[in-house]
Chain A
Amino acid sequence: MEQTVKGKVSEAVQTNGLGKRYGSFWALKDCTISVPRGSVTALVGPNGAGKTSLLKLLVGLNSPSAGDVVVLGQSPSQSTSYLSSIGYLAQEIPLYSQFTAADHFAIGKHMDVNWDNELAVKRLQELRIPLDRKVGKLSGGQRAQVGLAMALAKRPQLLLLDEPVAALDPLARMDFLTSLAQAVTDADGELTVVMSSHLLADLERVCDRVIILAAGETQLCENIEHTLETHKLLVGPKGQQPNNDGYRVIKETHSPTATHLLVRLEQPKHNLPGWHIRNVDIEEIVLAYMGQNKNESITKGDVR
């Protein structure tokens, strides 16, 4: 199953039936995903879908309750050799507020063998973020940039970001995503990113793949362009269904005059006479998958 590219496993992350249980509660269930090397993946889903649990499993901060996980060809652990290839930025951006960015970089230099101090300093200088000011005195956007600079200074092969832009204003968010996109460009295929977020419209451009987790299960794990090409909104006469079986209904809405179907087409090319086909953005698609899951779990008592 695993192909090798240049002597490396082609997938940065591969999980199979991965699950994490806390007591009797499954925070993540039956998660099967693959993340190709060099890709930038958006990890989306409602609160409690297991996004953070999954990221922690990948960092080696959690150990699986079920299933398998392989990251960069090995099992996640807290060993130095494993952690030196992983960059992780937790949701709360763990920085010492009394320390300056330069202080943080000095700690990083001591702790990481691959630490690239020049890179970290250059990044902040380009963004005009003072290196000698206490991190607690910086803006939220600047703190996020310090966190990103630290995660990237390790020269990781895999960068895991948990809700990195959630707390930022739109401008700081765009700056953060620009920094991230530049880092991906400069790494020239050697950096893989998995980033969880609620802000789907922003992710559409920076990410090339999407994973949708809902109710702790994987709903979708694929190329975003493919997702956009295959998901369409069909608008047609009330109470009717298109006369074609090359699609699967994700969400169905009825108005007094029309039927709206958000569908996944088996082929991007379609022929559905009598129906208007509209493009839908990634946010509508994700919401449809979340809604579908909720309805089905109510009616069938089963999330599948």
Chain B
Amino acid sequence: MIFHIRSRTGIPPYLQIVQQVKQDIRLGLLKEGDKLPAVREVVTMVAINPNTVVKAYRELENQGCIEKRLGVGTFVTKQPAGLSPDIQSALLDKLEGWLAETQAAGLDEEAVEALFHTAQRNQRGDQHGTDSKR
């Protein structure tokens, strides 16, 4: 697996590693039993602080995504079934339909992204609201 750490995102590098591993697992690019690169390999790959890699791996371990086997390495664990392919494809259909609508309305990619992020924020905002009322 090859990591990409982007500067200037404001997202801590350890979180970028966590997100990339989880994303690759979700997309099926990483499967059960696949070995993750050793800390020193990641350090050499992206000029990163070793503690950052250790922290990212620990976080992934806590979340049950990977497991350490002493003296052997770090491996992807058996993943929970997660999203069923049916639901995933249904959601994807809807999103593609919505994207077609935005195209028909003449929106460019940036405008679509802005809409999407606003919707996400609204969703999160609503959740905050209900939390504080409880």
Contact = CB atoms under 8 A, between A and B. Distances in A.
Interface of A: 38, 40, 174, 177-178, 180-182, 184-186, 201-202, 204-208, 224-225, 228-229, 271, 273, 276, 278-281, 283-284
Given A205-B13, A228-B12, A279-B11, A181 B48 contact: yes
Interface string B32-49: 000000011001101111
Contacts of A276: 121
Contact of B46 (A184, A186, A205, A224): A205
10 contacts: A181-B44, A181-B49, A184-B49, A202-B7, A205-B13, A206-B47, A224-B12, A229-B12, A271-B132, A279-B9
Contacts of A174: 47
A207 B13 CA distance: 10
Contacts of B14: 225
B97 interface: no
B10, B13, B51, B125: which has the most chain A beta carbons within 10 Å? Answer: B10
Contacts of B49: 40, 181, 184, 205-208
B129 interface: yes
Given A181-B47, A182-B44, A205-B46, A273 B128 contact: yes
B13 A204 contact: yes
Contacts of B132: 271
B8 interface: yes
What are the 4 A-B residue pairs with the smallest beta carbon separation, nearest first? A279-B10, A201-B7, A185-B50, A177-B47
B40 A273 contact: no
B5 interface: yes
Given A201-B8, A208-B49, A225-B12, 18 more contacts: A40-B49, A174-B47, A181-B48, A181-B49, A182-B43, A182-B44, A184-B49, A186-B40, A202-B7, A205-B5, A205-B46, A207-B49, A228-B12, A273-B129, A276-B121, A279-B9, A279-B11, A281-B10
B51 to A, nearest CB: 6
Chain B, interface size category, equals 20 to 34
B10 A181 contact: no
A178 B43 contact: yes
Interface of B: 5, 7-14, 39-40, 43-44, 46-52, 121, 125, 128-129, 132
Contact of A181 (B12, B50, B121): B50
A174 B48 CA distance: 10
Contact of A208 (B8, B39, B40, B51): B51
A65 B31 CA distance: 60
Nearest to B46: A205
Given A205-B5, A279-B9, A280-B10, A178 B128 contact: no
Contacts, number: 70
Contacts of A225: 12, 14
Contacts of B10: 228, 278-281, 284
Contacts of A271: 128, 132
Given A204-B13, A224-B12, A228-B12, A184 B7 contact: no
Contacts of B50: 181, 184-185
A185 B43 contact: yes
A225 B56 CA distance: 12
B7 A281 contact: yes
Contacts of A273: 125, 128-129
A185 B45 CA distance: 13
A2 to B, nearest CB: 22
Contacts of A38: 51
A229 B8 CA distance: 14
Nearest to A187: B50
B43 A208 contact: no
Contact of A283 (B8, B47, B121): B8
Contacts of A177: 47
A124 B132 CA distance: 59
Contacts of B121: 276
B131 to A, nearest CB: 8
